[in-house]
Structure 1
Amino acid sequence: MVDVGVQAPNDGVLAQDFVRFAVESGVLRFGEFKTKAGRMSPYFFNAGLFDDGAKLGRLAEFYAKALLASGIEFDMIFGPAYKGIPLAATVAVELARLGRNVPFAYNRKEAKDHGEGGTLVGAPLKGRVLIVDDVMSAGTAARESIALIKAAGATPHAVAIALDRQEKATENGVDVEHSAVQYVRNQLGMQVCAIAKLADLLLYLSKNGGAEMRVHHERVFAYRQKYGVTEG
């Protein structure tokens, strides 16, 4: 089934290209990794490893194409500290290159007590704001960004992420039946654009590579069976 709340970038080609790019860049890795929820995950996505100009520029291209294909309308971009800062800046640059020039802003973790002061940097927050981040595990960063945007008098309108893990969120240490993406969509009323989802990763693993990839597919599929959310 298709999760209609997450805007599909296209027919799946962009998602598959992105997964391949993330794997080949060493950003999407396989093994055993402990998540924030305390689960042992067979894969890990670390956007901080898009750590040179070429990779960051390519990442921004994927975000921009997914956003333009999604049809989501927004007036500006906001990047939550810290990973969201370079994402917001580079996505704004790539969108401008593609003919969609929008302002962007980001926040500091600590308020500045000199110069212009405050925690916000960049263009004034106003209109419909798109939050750009890497993944959503619990929706905590999104809620913090929403509070900042509302306090500035703007409207938190949508979220763009690189990968939707499509797994159950946790609340007070207990698994719930919805994912962080579903929470943001259904409870906070915001649109979500994901470049790729866990389903896209599984498809990639099923079609690429030999025995090693098949093992990764089996482990990721088993994880999805245990912690995956019901779509729709």
Structure 2
Amino acid sequence: MKSFEEKLKNFAKELFEANAIKFGEYKTKIGVMTPVYCDLRVIVSYPKLMDTLADLLIVKVEKMNVELLCGVPYTALPIATAVSLKLLKPMVMRRKEAKDYGTKKLIEGIFTAGQTCLIVEDVVTSGSSILETAKDLNGVGIKCTDAIVLLNREQGGEHFLMKNGIKMHSLLTLTQMVGYLREFGCVDDAVVEQVKSYLANTQIDEVSLNETITKDRLGLSFLDRAKYAKNPVSQELFKIMSSKQTTLCVAADLTNSTDILNLAERVGPHICALKTHIDIVEDFHPNMLGPLQEIANRHNFILFEDRKFCDIGKTVEYQYSKGGGCISSWANLVTAHSLLGKGVLDAIKGSEGLQKRGVFLLAETSAAGSLITESYVKSTLEMAEEYSDLVAGIVCQSPLFLKNPGLIQLTPGVRIDIKKDDLGQQYNSPASIVLERGADIAVVGRGITLAKDPEVAAAAYKKLLWDAYLQRIKE
């Protein structure tokens, strides 16, 4: 009969053969290059591998005094489920964000205050996801003192968790994993040394990590959040917003090029971005783009084309970089839907044009009767994390990604004087859009473009929005 270690060694090899462990050059979620990438999501496609994993975890779990299991969303959920079914121990599920309908629960399942819960995770680098899960569980009275993980990447997460009151138990460390794979001849000595050097030079920064865990993005200043942004345009936006003390984006939904240039000149000192729909400009000519860029550079704001790309990759590539509008040559920011998948972002990322570019992914809309579902929102947020070097932020109406301070929430539908128009557009006040809905950048259109004096209106919106932001980060 095989010993536990022999089973563990074979499991490591099976992970490698399933392409769950990859060697090469990869960028992690936090923007650091790594010679080894752990894509444990593929395990769900290998029932026997999942069964083996559950058996290995149970050897450790059976020694613990726990009453509940909770998988860190979302990759660890099937792992926790497999263990729960074998041990006949109940589970609870933590949502990444609470529903805005029904019970609005963050923790789903049957439990009583005071029960102990074992947190299940796939891979640990910093341990922040486990702490976030523990925080939400503690918030409903569930006690969390232990976590079990498939793979400890040995970059400081275990120590960090211990300092925050959680003991981490792991099946494998990265050193063990690579050592076992070396024994099987899956990797050579050069890879082993490369991983060893990587681990020695990429330990987590506990000071910065503590800041993001104890405070979500709504409590952090824009300058603090700029440190976590992976996209160069979002980094620049955070700095512009801080230096100009503005979170205002004006929607220049005008059909005349001269009107757009005049508006940009007048509101330029008060905005961080100017949003256009270049395809509605009736007298459009590429000659307008040079003056528009000059105004943006002089007044220090970002040009933002609200194209909402949603097509097959090759078509998006042409829409973005070809044609009369040639968007990639002048707009640092664009919008896109995630509906057609990753090909849209791959096309934007690989197209010719400005080197500094960013995308706002549409997750929610201010239009009444939208068909956007909770599942669509979840998938959009996952795509944003995967493409963190390209995605500058999310277009949404609620604070969806509190624990990702590097992303920017862009929220349209802001107006002081009315609540809705006759075509389904719904409006919110500047204060509510920032304090209740979580907006970082607020989009104002007709409230400024139809004003008697757009410059005066822009200044008024700027102040109201900035005052709300200052109130938010003080709370």
Q: TM-score range by the shorter chain?
A: 0.7 to 0.9
RMSD: 2.4
Deviates most, 78-87 or 219-228: 219-228
3-state DSSP of counterpart to 2:31: coil
Query: Counterparts of 2:135 and 2:91 in 1: how far apart (Å)?
Result: 17
Aligned to 1:60: 54
| Structure 1 residue 132, shift from structure 2 partner | 0.4
Q: 1:148 aligns with which of 111, 118, 136?
A: 136
Deviation at 1:194, TM superposition (A): 0.4
Whether the aligned pair in 1 keeps the contact of 2:12 and 2:181 (CA below 8 Å) is no
* Equivalent position of 2:93 in the other structure: 106
1:111 match: secondary structure: coil
- Percent of aligned pairs with the same residue? 22
Change in CA separation of 1:227 and 1:124 when aligned onto 2, cut-off 3 Å:
same
CA drift of 1:128 comes to 1.3
C-alpha displacement of 1:134: 0.8
Letter of the aligned partner of 1:183 in structure 2?
Answer: F
Deviation at 1:192, TM superposition (A): 1.2
Q: Secondary structure at the match of 1:104?
A: coil
**AA in 2 matched with 1:55:** L
> Is 1:17 aligned to 2:4, yes or no?
no
CA distance, structure 1, for counterparts of residue 133 and residue 126 of structure 2: 13
For residues 84 and 35 of structure 1, what CA distance do their matches in structure 2 show?
18
Q: Secondary structure at the match of 1:163?
A: strand
Please, which of 41, 49, 52 is the counterpart of residue 34 of structure 2? Answer: 41
Does residue 75 of the first structure (1) align with residue 67 of the second (2)?
yes
Assess if the C-alpha contact under 8 Å between 1:138 and 1:180 holds in 2.
yes
Displacement, 1:156? 0.8
Letter matched to residue 99 of structure 2:
K
Give per-residue Cα distances to partners, 1:57-112, cap 9 Å, x unaligned.
332222222323xx332111012221232222111112x2xxxx321111223323
Specify whether residues 158 and 198 from structure 1 end up closer, same or farther in structure 2 by C-alpha distance, changes over 3 A only.
same
C-alpha contact 2:149 2:170 (8 A) present in aligned 1: yes
Opposite residue 19 of structure 1, the aligned amino acid is A
CA distance in 2, matches of 1:85, 1:76: 13
Q: Which has the larger radius of gyration?
A: 2
Partner SS, residue 50 of structure 1: helix
Measure, in 2, the Cα distance between the counterparts of 1:147 and 1:159.
Answer: 13
Q: Paired residue for 1:181?
A: 158
159, 165, 170: which one pairs with 1:194? 170
Provide closer, same or farther for how the CA distance between residues 213 and 144 of structure 1 changes in structure 2, counting only shifts above 3 A.
Answer: same
Displacement of 1:147 after TM fit? 1.3
Which residue number corresponds to residue 275 of structure 2?
A: none
Q: Could you tell me whether the CA contact under 8 Å between 1:125 and 1:149 is conserved in 2?
A: no
Q: Is the 8 A contact 1:74 1:157 kept in 2?
A: no
- Could you tell me which residue of structure 2 aligns to residue 7 of structure 1? none
Distance 1:28 1:125 in 2: 38
**54-63 or 152-161: bigger deviation:** 54-63
**Following TM superposition, by how much is the alpha carbon of 1:218 offset from its aligned partner in structure 2, in angstroms?**
2.8
2:24 counterpart (31, 35, 39): 31
Q: Does 1:87 align with 2:79?
A: yes
Q: Which amino acid aligns with 1:63?
A: L
Distance 1:208 1:118 in 2: 47
User: Is the 8 Å Cα contact of residues 18 and 195 (structure 1) preserved in structure 2?
Assistant: no
Q: Partners in 1 of 2:183 and 2:99 — Cα distance? A: 50
Match of 1:120 in 2: 107
> Using the alignment, how far apart are the partners of 1:142 and 1:92 within structure 2?
18
Cross-structure match for 1:3: none
Q: Decide whether the 8 Å contact of 1:136 with 1:161 is kept in 2.
A: yes
Q: Do 1:205 and 1:216's aligned partners in 2 also have CA atoms closer than 8 Å?
A: no
> CA 1:109 to 1:214, structure 2 compared with 1: closer, same or farther past 3 Å?
same
C-alpha distance 125-195 of structure 1, shift in aligned 2 (>3 A): farther
Moved over 6 A (4+): none
Instruction: Select which of 147, 153, 159 maps to 1:159.
Output: 147
Is the 2:15–2:21 Cα contact (8 Å) retained in structure 1?
yes
Task: Report the count of equivalent residues.
Answer: 200
Q: State the SS of the aligned residue for 1:124.
A: coil
TM-score, normalised by the number of residues in structure 1 = 0.76
Q: 1:67 to 1:17 in 2, by over 3 A?
A: farther
Q: Distance in 1 between matches of 2:177 and 2:77?
A: 26
Q: Which range moves more in the overlay, 112-121 or 39-48?
A: 112-121
**Structure with the bigger percentage of helix:** 2
Q: Does the 8 Å CA contact 1:72/1:191 hold for their aligned counterparts? A: no
Give the counterpart of 1:226 among 201, 211, 227.
Answer: 201
Structure 2: which amino acid aligns with 1:79?
G
